[in-house]
Chains A and B, each alone.
Chain A
């Protein structure tokens, strides 16, 4: 079992729709959870961070965390073609500040 798992996609959504991305992790001691967006050939950029159970909203993005289920998700509302990218879920290991990344979900927003 991979430490952080994501559906590789591609997830195809029409412009204006909601994109829903999921991520599961295996380390129950994980404390911090992050969503990064990565455009092709570029380095990751932070979209959201979440540390406690529940929802966290920032603009068109909402992150949801359920530690009991070891599950974190990202919703992108009113999807735009510029949201087309690979979204990486990253988890901070219980010990230290190392990040473990999932394989990423490729999102395609079609006009």
Chain B
């Protein structure tokens, strides 16, 4: 089946650091990938839609200059949390879309900002 790999699985870093998270579709090409954020005991909230070869589409309330998304190839999207602060600590999950199928989720990245 379709596999989505997300890396790293866990990041702990100091406030002010920028953190890059990678999302790869391993056995299929994904023109569209999605980035979600999940705070403790809450559901997944869509942050942005990543489109290969074009700018990402951000959901209302998500700062595009803080959460930089690059979808440079059909198998890779990256999310960079710039100048991360403790309130950015969360579980970040990507998914990839294969036409005609439900979204396939990566294993998630737990980000902790000290």
B43 at the interface (CB under 8 A from A): yes
Nearest A-chain residue to B45, judged by Cβ: A101
Residues of A within 8 A of B102 (CB): 32, 34, 46, 49
Residues 26-59 of A, flagged 1 when their CB comes within 8 A of B and 0 if not, give: 0000001010000001111110010000000000
Cα-based distance from A42 to B105 in the complex (angstroms): 10
| CB-CB under 8 A for A42 and B108, given A34-B102, A97-B97 | yes
In the complex, the answer to whether A88 meets B43 with C-beta atoms within 8 Å is: yes
| CB-CB under 8 A for A42 and B107, given A34-B102, A98-B34, A98-B49 | yes
Count how many chain A residues have C-beta atoms less than 8 Å from C-beta atoms of the other chain.
19
Cα-based distance from A17 to B110 in the complex (angstroms): 34
* Residues of chain B from 39 to 94 with CB closer than 8 A to chain A in the complex: 42-46, 49, 91, 93
Cβ 8 A contact of B103, one of A41, A42, A97: A97
Cα-based distance from A44 to B93 in the complex (angstroms): 9
Q: How far is the CB of A13 from chain B (nearest CB, A)?
A: 21
* Residues of chain A from 61 to 111 with CB closer than 8 A to chain B in the complex: 88, 96-104
The 7 A-B pairs at the shortest CB distance, nearest first, are namely A43-B108, A101-B43, A43-B105, A101-B44, A103-B43, A43-B93, A49-B102
* Other A-B pairs beyond A99-B34, A99-B103, 17, CB < 8 Å: A32-B102, A34-B102, A43-B105, A43-B108, A44-B44, A44-B93, A96-B49, A98-B34, A98-B46, A98-B49, A99-B46, A100-B46, A101-B43, A101-B45, A103-B42, A103-B43, A104-B43
Which residues in B have some Cβ–Cβ distance to A below 8 Å? 6, 32, 34, 42-46, 49, 91, 93, 97, 102-108, 110
Which residues in A have some Cβ–Cβ distance to B below 8 Å? 32, 34, 41-46, 49, 88, 96-104
Contact sample, A vs B, 9 pairs, CB 8 Å cutoff: A43-B105, A43-B107, A44-B93, A88-B44, A97-B32, A98-B49, A99-B46, A101-B45, A102-B43
